[in-house]
Structure 1
Amino acid sequence: FQKLLRHLGLRQPDNGTAYSPAEAEEIAQRIGYPVVIRPSYVLGGRAMEIVHDNAGLSRYIRRAVIVSGTSPVLIDRYLQNAIEVDVDAVADGDEVYVAGIMEHIEEAGIHSGDSACSLPPYSLAPATIAEIERQTIALARALNVIGLMNVQFAVRNGDVYVLEVNPRASRTVPFVAKATGVPIAKIAARVMIGEKLRRLLPHNERAAARNRGHVAVKEAVFPFARFPGVDLILGPEMKSTGEVMGIDVDFGRAFAKSQLGSGTELPLKGCVFVSVRDQDKDAVVEACRQLVSWGFDLVATRGTAKKLEEEGVPVAVVNKVQEGRPDIVDKMRSGDVQLVFNTTEGAQAIADSFSLRRTALTHNIPYYTTVAGARASVQAIGALRQGCLEVAPLQSYLSSPVSLSGQDRL
């Protein structure tokens, strides 16, 4: 696969395959921490982990997998602060139809099944979207795909990286079909038995599907409430058990609907707790400033509060759980917190903040464990403040969905 990408001139995160613990350490040192490490054959991101240092790598190899000549592990450079993108396409050997380009709301490193995503992309530049489409077409042709294909990309600083390619249907296919009105699974099935895209999906119908004038957001549904003791924090191992879709004329309203569909009711007033890791502090400032302008109160742990105060955002300091009572968990249990933004990394920091996330779950307080999710929630709150969301049938967004029913059968 590396040879193919080099031949096509496509980027891929630095990576390697290790057949022994010593080889795994050598590869990690060569490509640089943090790294994403996983067994060579997994589904749902099982046993996949982001490792930040040699100690974490040794612990992973000791506890998670047995590395051997027949069971190697794959190690990839973790692209921090990258945007992940899912693409579904259909190829017939002559043409490639890119059915949907979905921008993940959570950053790269969160399993694609756990991340919310937007179709069309809500923040990527048109040139980046065009480049992603070009690379998808090149991969489909190089791999001689007949039928469906899913590609996962990461975008960082305008550069596009190929994460993985799967010549099969993805879990996103039903979402893409509903959002665009194109029955891509049916089209792919007929392509696989010899029909051609030019007949099944004429170019005028492709253009109509691309210009529907609405935004669809897929959100994951999690079973955390049914499993006491499970941590809410997201990572490369999949935890969701379902998904919902919100659709509306803009991203904020569509995201708000997706949150309601997944059981999250965003507040329009009250107190927001903010505690983020150092690398996220700059990114969360504007979202917090916006919330304050709408009348929300902010409380934060000392490090986050210091950054917000430096940026002129009013905030009150609250103790972490291990810093003495009353602490943030006490405030949450007392009903004094209506929304939580909490990002963290490192085994100790994650363990220290576990009770915070668990309390949010048990008290039905909306929580976001990524900055991207937090910022999206602020856009959704802004949409909700403008008025009630409208309920409309899916067909009203798809005035002329593609239908194959009138075409000749083989």
Structure 2
Amino acid sequence: PSFTLGGTGGGIAYNREEFEEIVRKGLDASPTTEVLIEESLLGWKEYEMEVVRDRADNAIIVCSIENIDPMGVHTGDSITVAPALTLTDKEYQIMRNASIGCLREIGVETGGSNVQFAVNPKDGRLIVIEMNPRVSRSSALASKATGFPIAKVAAKLAVGYTLDEIMNDITGATPASFEPTIDYVVTKIPRFAFEKFKGASPLLSTAMKSVGEVMAIGRNIHESLQKALRGLETGLSGFNRVDALVGAPRAEIEAALAQATPDRLLIAAQALREGMTVAEVHAIAKYDPWFLERIAEIVAAENDVLANGLPRDAAGMRRLKAMGFADKRLAWLALQSAGLREGVQRGIARGGGLIHDAVVAMTGGVTEAEVRKLRHRLGVRPVFKRIDTCAAEFDAKTPYMYSTYESPSFGEPECESAPTDRRKIVILGGGPNRIGQGIEFDYCCCHACFALAEAGFETIMVNCNPETVSTDYDTSDRLYFEPLTAEDVLEILHVEQARGTLVGVIVQFGGQTPLNLAQALEDAGIPILGTSPDAIDLAEDRERFAALINKLGLRQPANGIARSRDEAVAVAARIGYPVLMRPSYVLGGRAMEIVDSPLQL
């Protein structure tokens, strides 16, 4: 439909009946009552060019973006990477020239536009899908991916400036007419909330369904992808195993691959674990073979840990960390390793007393904390690099950073963080938007930054959401674009404590996400400013909170705590149906339910 956003009213018709239904809805959705009917491009590769042009016909490509998901899934629901990774230089130049040609022909001369292309992987046929003559969701992503402030530049172009008259804030030495250069890989993964809507179809289509997104930055696609997966905050620590497909029949795996769902990339990894080839997965899911080969490399590295346990040398550990493996993921893999199973069997034979010793000896640790200790003992820690728009050609004045693991092949890995000697306070953001935790928390984080800066503190923001103001490079004094996990945050704090005074960390402005990290930070000796972790737990742990209410002599609904199904049935029988079931440490009613009967319970 014309004049709609997010694919509203659109769809793919496979027969006359579906066509008539989609057209009817599309005409209703369009304010001009018109729809475009065009050939299906299902399975084609999708690319985007973010272009800025001024009144003097200066034009630059801020960023190229490649959708990992094939055509048929709305770009807002697609996993995307920047820069485009599977284009030949010739294809890129054709797209670049075509993008600028679109802006010239339409007449965009005071700002940014987004031009989308599709490429047929069979014959290389390239076509323009659409153009947004304005800033878009992709513009925000491109701005965060490159450090080039598209909206800010577009505003100046609109009042008469030209690109060569606008200075680059990050370098302070180059004009905005310099095209940004990217020497890293950015991955965006959308966040969905199908669990909030019973009966909602998790199948992705041309109409957007995601509620938020996470962005991650790494020196290679392996690192960037795995950082993005753990930044989603959906319980993933990387390419987690899809339990439902472990040992499943081939037909069941192929059926899962054929459906465009939010978990399809994880399913592709599981298919490779189950013995399918890259070519076989590509034929069904239509992911580009290049991306599947990179996932296959991650799976191969997992298999090595499963077979041999964790590496006992720094080079081996650094190789895994450079591929984006989280300590938590490595701990899980170590637990599953063949060496662990042998150790457990020996421990059981001796009465069970040596199980933990066997585990630690053979795998290097069973918990995330033990893997972290091993890594630190081996001297394997991340370094931080800067987003500078120019691949280090000029000095960056703005500390906008991401972590990576470098090989010491040419001396010590270079860390560009350069912490200051000021008194500093770290604010943890809220991560990807979701129902119950959105921009309202980012508003709080930003104003906390502004207030602390006025009070004379250096402000340090940690977040991974490209849709927020807190991840603008000029909101805080220093920005770390990193997943909000204990591992990633503790490594940032380690670097920042090297100079100056870390006054503490504030966890109460980012919603549930930073609250869940409070205890791990306190255990590591990090000062928590504001509400203490114990006070947070007193309010968040429903059992402790109920005991507090009783102690104060206040009234509350009849309640009880259950840690098993049998306990839940007993508590519900005592209270009487209907009952309300609520987990601890959740936000927005997640996993809460009104239960009317023992069967439903």
Q: How much does 1:54 deviate?
A: 1.5
Corresponding letter in the other structure for 1:168: R
Cα deviation, residue 235, structure 1: 0.6
Deviation at 1:126, TM superposition (A): 1.4
Secondary structure in structure 2 of the residue aligned to 1:132: helix
**Residue 204 and residue 378 in structure 1: after superposition, are their counterparts in 2 closer, same or farther (change >3 A)?**
same
Identity %: 25
In structure 2, runs of 5+ residues without a counterpart are 269-283, 303-318, 325-380, 399-472, 475-601
User: Aligned partner of 1:150: which letter?
Assistant: N
Residue 257 of structure 2 is aligned to residue 342 of structure 1: yes
- The answer for the alignment partner of 2:19 in structure 1 is 57
Give the whole-Å Cα distance in 2 for the aligned partners of 1:164 and 1:217: 22
Q: In structure 2, what is the equivalent of residue 232 of structure 1?
A: 202
Aligned to 1:91: 53
Structure 1 residue 174: deviation in Å? Answer: 2.4
What per-residue deviation string (whole Å, max 9, x for no partner) do you get for residues 275-304 of structure 1?
xxxxxxxxxxxxxxxxxxxxxx65334387
Q: Matched residues in 1 for 2:293 and 2:210: separation?
A: 23
Q: Distance in 1 between matches of 2:286 and 2:22?
A: 26
Residues 212-291 of structure 1 correspond to what in structure 2 (within 5 A)? 212-263=182-233, 265=236
Spell out the pairing of 1:155-174 with structure 2 (5 A cutoff).
155-156=119-120, 157-174=123-140
Assess if the C-alpha contact under 8 Å between 2:59 and 2:177 holds in 1: no
Contact kept, 8 Å, 1:181 with 1:401, in 2: the verdict is: no
Shift of 1:401: 4.8
Structure 2 Cα separation of the partners of residues 395 and 68 of structure 1 = 44
Structure with the higher fraction of residues in strand conformation: 1
Task: Kindly report the root-mean-square deviation, in angstroms, between the aligned alpha carbons of the 2 structures.
Answer: 3.8
Q: Distance in 2 between matches of 1:244 and 1:150?
A: 20
Aligned to 1:395, which of 386, 393, 408? 386
Correspondences of 1:39-78 after superposition (within 5 Å):
39-61=1-23, 65=27, 71-78=33-40
**Of the candidates 93, 100, 123, which is equivalent to residue 137 of structure 1?**
100
TM-score (normalizing by structure 1): 0.62
CA 1:391/1:397 → structure 2, altered by over 3 Å: closer, same or farther? farther
Deviation at 1:133, TM superposition (A): 0.5
1:185–1:228: structure 2 CA closer, same or farther, 3 Å change rule? same
1:76-131 per-residue CA deviation (whole Å, 9 max, x = no partner) reads 11113211112111110221111011011111121111111111111111111111
Whether the aligned pair in 2 keeps the contact of 1:152 and 1:165 (CA below 8 Å) is yes
1:200-247: CA deviations, max 9, x gaps?
Answer: 268966798644321111111111122222121111000011111111
Aligned AA (2:98): Q
Say whether 1:372 aligns with 2:287: yes
For the structure 1 residues 160 and 140, does the alpha-carbon distance in structure 2 shift closer, same or farther, using more than 3 Å as the test?
A: same
Say if 1:44 and 1:180 are closer, same or farther in 2 by CA, change over 3 A. Answer: same
The aligned amino acid for 2:90 is A
Report the CA distance shift for 1:229/1:394 in structure 2 as closer, same or farther (over 3 A).
Answer: farther
- In structure 2, the residue matched to 1:351 is none
Show the counterpart of 2:77. Answer: 114
Higher relative contact order (CA 8 A, sep 6+): 1
Is residue 2:96 matched to residue 1:147? no
Structure ID, larger Rg: 2
Distance 2:179 2:223 in 1: 21
Shift of 1:260: 1.4
TM-score normalised per structure 2: 0.43
Q: Cα deviations across residues 325-368 of structure 1 (Å, max 9, x unaligned)?
A: xxxxxxxxxxxxxxxx53248xxxxxxxxxxx79x89xxx9556
1:191 and 2:106 equivalent?
no
What is the match of residue 337 of structure 1? none
2:248 is aligned with what amino acid? V
* In structure 2, distance between residues paired with 1:394 and 1:231: 40
CA 1:394 to 1:56, structure 2 compared with 1: closer, same or farther past 3 Å? farther
Match of 1:300 among 227, 244, 249: 249
Distance of 1:267 and 1:261 partners within structure 2: 9
| Distance across 2 between alignment mates of 1:221 and 1:392 | 28
Inter-CA distance 69–113: structure 2 relative to 1 (3 Å threshold): closer
Provide the aligned length of Structure 1 versus Structure 2: 296
Q: Is the partner of 1:113 in helix, strand or coil?
A: helix
* Distance across 2 between alignment mates of 1:41 and 1:68: 6
- CA distance in 2 between counterparts of 1:95 and 1:209 reads 11
| Cα separation, partners in 2 of 1:58 and 1:272, compared to 1, 3 Å | same
Q: Any idea what SS the aligned residue of 2:204 has?
A: coil
1:285 maps to what in 2? none
Q: Aligned AA for 2:161?
A: E
Aligned to 1:148, what secondary structure does the other structure show?
Answer: strand
